[in-house]
Copies of this chain bind each other. A is one copy, B any other.
Amino acid sequence: MRKLYHLWLSPQSRKVRVLLKEKGLEFDLEVEKLWERRPEFLAMDPSGNGPVLVEHDGRALADSQAICEYLDEVYPNKMLIGFDPPSRAETRRLVAWWDHKFGPEVSEPLVFEKVMKRFMGMGHPESSVIRIAHQNMKIHLDYIAWLTERRNWLAGDDFSLADIAAAAHLSCLDYLGDIPWADHPGAHDWYARVKSRPSFRPLLADHIPGLPPPKHYADLDF
């Protein structure tokens, strides 16, 4: 059986989970406590960042974007990176936006301060870091509204990996109750559409022991 080594609140792990579901591919989930730096895991992913996907032929794939590109090449039943080079470039630009701009500016500091520090016994969250990340978040929520005023989905007419990546990041922060949806109706409406997709349901059923999500997290009418 295909297996994904993941962390519950890793946006990159969630991106791969949703892509697998969109393609109808079965997989098992196994939590990888990245901070333990398990040698067998580092042999598969020397970066130690996760996630890692082990295909049923035993092949181990690392780096979430390399995994998604691989899956889109090997299982083209439903293509999610786009259908021609320009739309693929736009999808990839936006995936990079979420993983490498929104991540460091917003989701990584928030998940680190609010969750990882606690699990790793590293003390209290730093309120100044949280305040800056919340401030940064607004620009990104506005960007979603700006894009979806002009397009059906983030990268164009079709639902794509850009939507999956963005929603993967936002779903982690929504689990923490950190998204001011009421102030950002455009982003809210787009997220409601993503949230109602069957591929997204398993994420909404996530329940981390000792860290329950707010009530609206799994609610399609939030």
Is A85 among interface residues, defined by CB-CB distance under 8 A?
Answer: yes
CB-CB under 8 A from A89, the residues of chain B are 61, 66-67, 69-70
Q: Is the CB of B69 within 8 A of A88?
A: yes
Is A63 among interface residues, defined by CB-CB distance under 8 A?
Answer: yes
Is A10 among interface residues, defined by CB-CB distance under 8 A?
Answer: no
A contact patch SS:
helix
- The count of identical subunits is 2
Is A210 among interface residues, defined by CB-CB distance under 8 A?
Answer: no
Q: A63-B93, A93-B63 are in contact. Are A73 and B100 (CB under 8 A)?
A: no
- The count of residues in chain A whose C-beta lies closer than 8 Å to any C-beta of chain B is 27
Is A97 among interface residues, defined by CB-CB distance under 8 A?
Answer: yes
Which one of B66, B97, B100 lies within 8 Å of A92 (CB-CB)?
Answer: B66
CB-CB under 8 A from A88, the residues of chain B are 66, 69-70, 73
